[in-house]
Amino acid sequence: MDAKLHEVWQSERLTAFMFTVIYSFKVKPGKNSQFEKAWHDLTELIYEFEGSIGSRLHQLENNRDYIAYAQ
């Protein structure tokens, strides 16, 4: 995002509405660490550049399914 566009987005953010998104994922066996790192990295980018509040990632007992939410 170029600097001017980022500046405009930052100034307009105060009038934006907040919403929550809920995700459900099935992760391939052996890919949990890769998935968790990708989720973390993407969340940081969205937090830094889009003004999100953050997210939470929950692994279910079967170790393959995840539920997540982002604000």
Q: How far is CA 31 from CA 25, 60, 62, 64, in A?
A: 12, 15, 14, 9
Fold for the domain defined by 19-70: Alpha-Beta Plaits (3.30.70)
Report the SS3 class of residue 56: strand
Better-scored residue on pLDDT, 52 or 58: 58
Q: Report d(CA 46, CA 30) in Å as an integer.
A: 26
Give the percent of the chain with pLDDT over 90: 44
Better-scored residue on pLDDT, 10 or 65: 65
pLDDT at 8 over 60: yes
Domain boundaries, the chain: 19-70
Q: How many CA atoms within 13 Å lie on the side-chain side of 50?
A: 14
- Lowest mean pLDDT segment, chosen from 7-21, 35-49, 53-67: 7-21
Q: What is the pLDDT of residues 11-45, one digit of tens each?
A: 655 555 667 789 999 999 999 999 999 999 988 88
In contact, 32 and 66? CB cutoff 8 Å: no
